[in-house]
Amino acid sequence: MNEQLNFECETGNYHTFCPISCVAWLYQKIEDSFFLVIGTKTCGYFLQNALGVMIFAEPRYAMAELEESDISAQLNDFKELKRLCKQIQSSRNPSVIIWIGTCTTEIIKMDLEGLAPKIEADLKLPIVVARANGLDYAFTQGEDTVLAALVHRCTKNRFKHQSTNKKLVLFGSVSNTVANQLSFELQKQNIFIDGWLPAHNYLELPNLDANVYVCGINPFLSRTATTLMRRRKCKLIGAPFPIGPDGTKQWILKICDAFQQTPINLVEREQATWTQLHDYCKLIRNKSVFFMGDNLLEISLARFLIRCGMKVYEIGIPYLDKRFQASELQFLKSTCKQMHCALPRIVEKPDNYSQIQRIHEFQPDLVITGMGLANPLEARGINTKWSVEFTFAQIHGFANARDILELVTRPLRRNIKLQI
């Protein structure tokens, strides 16, 4: 058996969402924010069409649509943006405006970072700039750019007496329910969370300094992790991500390690969760799965599914930060060893065309893929699951492991039921 993980890199001709899609969930998470996407019709069209209905439900975000006169610098960027932000301030009164830079602002080199402080001073309203563009990033990495930008807004410890107690701040945007659940899990280990990045309010961003230990809960947050370490001197706890009961246990273990706590009742907790998952696992045991790759959750999900008894042919992934994901990769290796299965190949920047050739060759039982390819694959008799659902579903912690398998098994269960 091959002992080393096999990394490959293809052409990068693959389908994924544009990273500006992160506004769709971040504006719901940060309740007092307003997102302003500075881009073109294409961006607006994408947000409206690809992300569908929820856009109109409660619009706490908007497009600043660039026109020809903006591009050719006939209009003054500063005045235009200031006018827009003023309008937003008076009609919505948010605590922060987050500008999302796009490909176009990148190419015409609009100096958003330079303009923001001036407008911020004029309006007395924080303006955060995140460059979530398709030139540099894929899908969920959009969140990474926003969180990294928010790190700069976290105050240094405001108390005069710097306490030397270790503090814990978690980073990654999850629903408040999941945030609470993870907090409870850690409380059971006598570890108390001092803050979340992002918090559900901009005004409640955590304090950060050298006494703060930080730990990520999503695999696509490498930029945020770097910023936390370099700019705020925080200590990063490198851990697998709390996806699946195995991941959650490892994640808690690593945090316990850092806080010198002996884990309490953790093995039993994991075991109990596996017992609950038994029926689902039976359904997918020895089935094979192929990740085409588009949201960077692939490594963690593959590791969990291998532990459930599945075979993974290929893990496609847009971008792999081997340092930030080091623990997760290690864990993937040990899981494969434990389950006696071959190490899957990991394909960075995959090429959808050749992937489809490989899918035809392997005939996997399940392909986890984007929406653009799902229906055509189904029409060719291959079971698929939309990968975006893993981004929007609650998948973290012991309590939600079920939901992951609920998603993974759905196409299999559906196809058992269909009688035509």
Please tell me whether residue 111 binds another protein under the rule CB under 8 A.
Answer: no
The stretch among 47-55, 148-156, 207-215, 242-250 that binds another protein (CB under 8 A) is: 47-55
Question: Diameter of the chain by CA atoms?
Answer: 71
Interface residue with another protein among 1, 2, 4, 49 (CB under 8 A) is 49
In one-letter notation, the amino acid at residue 344 is P
Q: Is 248 an interacting residue with respect to another protein (CB under 8 A)? A: no
Window of 26-34, 50-58, 78-86, 255-263 that interacts with another protein by CB under 8 A: 50-58
Nearest 10 degrees: Cα torsion 393, 281, 409, 394: 0
Indicate whether 332 belongs to the interface with another protein (CB under 8 A): no
Scanning 208-216, 245-253, 285-293, 370-378 for contacts with another protein by CB under 8 A, the matching segment is 370-378
Contact, 16 vs 79, CB < 8 A? no
Under the binding rule (CB under 8 A), the answer on residue 415 touching another protein is: no
Contact 236, 197 (CB under 8 A): no
Residue type at 31?
E
- Interface with another protein includes 279 (CB under 8 A)? yes
Which range touches another protein (CB under 8 A), out of 74-82, 135-143, 148-156, 244-252?
Answer: 135-143
Contact 302, 379 (CB under 8 A): no
| Token output for 215 | 């730990």
Exactly one of 6, 8, 9, 48 binds another protein (CB under 8 A); that residue is: 48
Was 43 annotated as part of a binding site? yes
Alpha carbons 280 and 282: distance in angstroms, whole number: 5
Q: 258 vs 384, which CB is nearer to another protein?
A: 384
Counting contacts by CB under 8 A, is residue 370 touching another protein? yes
> What's the sign of the alpha-carbon dihedral 7, 11, 13, 17?
positive
Among residues 220, 179, 219, 177, the alpha carbon closest in space to that of 197 is found at 179
| The amino acid at 327 | S
Two tokens, residue 347: 């394909």
Kindly report the number of other CB atoms within 10 A of residue 5's CB atom.
17
What does DSSP say about strands 6-9 and 345-348: parallel, antiparallel, or unpaired?
A: parallel
Residue 73 interacts with another protein (CB under 8 A)? no
Length of the chain counted residue by residue: 420
Range list of β-strands (E), 68-192: 96-101, 127-131, 167-171
Structure tokens at 21: 């899609």
Q: Which of 118, 326, 372, 415 binds another protein (CB under 8 A)?
A: 372
Choice between 76 and 415, CB closer to another protein = 415
How far apart are alpha carbons 411 and 310 in whole angstroms? 15
Which of residues 162, 163, 180, 334 is near another protein by CB under 8 A?
180
> Which one of 190, 265, 353, 392 is in contact with another protein (CB under 8 A)?
353
> Does 231 help bind another protein (rule: CB under 8 A)?
no
# binding residues, another protein (CB under 8 A) = 62
Q: Measuring CA to CA, which residue among 395, 224, 369, 388 is closest to residue 300?
A: 395
Query: What part of residues 139-168 is at the interface with another protein (CB under 8 A)?
Result: 139
Q: Which of 9, 108, 121, 339 binds another protein (CB under 8 A)?
A: 108
Question: Which position among 7, 10, 60, 71 is part of the footprint of another protein (CB under 8 A)?
Answer: 71
Q: How far is the CB of 101 from another protein (least distance, A)?
A: 12
* Residues forming the site for another protein (CB under 8 A): 12-13, 15-21, 40-42, 45-46, 48-50, 52-53, 56-57, 67-68, 71, 103-104, 106-108, 133-139, 176-177, 180-181, 184, 275-280, 353, 356, 370-376, 379, 398-399, 402, 413, 417
Annotated binding site for [4Fe-4S] cluster: 18, 43, 103
